[in-house]
Amino acid sequence: MSDEHYFSADPSVPFTREPVTCRVWGHDLDLVSGSGVFARGRLDAGTAVLLRETEPPVDARRVLDLGCGWGVIGLAIARAVPEADVTGVDVNERALLLARENAATLGVADRYRAVTPADVPADATYDEVWSNPPIRIGKQALHELLLTWLPRLAPGGRAVMVVGKNLGGDSLQRWLGEQGWPTERVASAKGFRVLETRRAGD
């Protein structure tokens, strides 16, 4: 995608849509990705590991898909957990457009919304946060991102994330613990760590 990063707010590369079909937790998802958005035309390896190595959060009612891209994680949750309301958050307007289109296609637009961080109500809290976080924004920016959104977890809530081992998955796990966010590795596959973070004191 030239040298432009997928986390640009308004990618300048020409916009072309590309279909992606995947099966998650027993549901077939026919989705659309696009140029200027992370993992165009494919389910990226990290997200694939995350969804394969976990079970759907059947008890969650308010879920945040952090760095949602074109929406596959949050939309998979919305399909698998009919009682869940899912909010996808991203800075990439093109990704948000695709996520909304995908929600409409899957028939879950009433329970899935994709918005910029500024459009999330200040008092919103979540039972679970799911994410394939944008590691390549840099360590400091990633730490700020996580320390902004993890406090949105409700009491007893958890975050589920996938991070490449070679991109600092193990050091991120340690750092989260040092910040008061106890984090366990719940799965490891194909060079990725699936991490589960709990609210401190819960």
Domain boundaries, the chain: 45-199
Q: Residue 21 region, left (φ>0) first, then alpha (ψ -120 to 50), else beta?
A: beta
pLDDT at 5: 41
Rounded to whole angstroms, the Cα distance separating 72 from 88 reads: 10
Query: How open is the CA angle 131-73-190, to the nearest 5 degrees?
Result: 70
34 falls in which pLDDT band (50, 70, 90)? confident
Rounded to whole angstroms, the Cα distance separating 151 from 85 reads: 19
The C-alpha torsion from 79 through 82 and 85 to 89, rounded to 10°, is -10
- Show the 3-state SS of 144-175: HHHHHHHHHEEEEEEEEEEEEHHHCHHHHHHH
H or E segment to which residue 28 belongs: strand 27-34
User: What is the dotted CATH code of the domain comprising 45-199?
Assistant: 3.40.50.150
Task: Say whether pLDDT at 49 is over 90.
Answer: yes
The C-alpha torsion from 160 through 63 and 114 to 67, rounded to 10°, is -20
- One-letter amino acid identity for 108? V
pLDDT at 110: 98
pLDDT at 1: 32
6-18 per-position pLDDT tens digit: 444 455 565 778 8
Look at 13 and 29; give whichever has higher pLDDT.
29
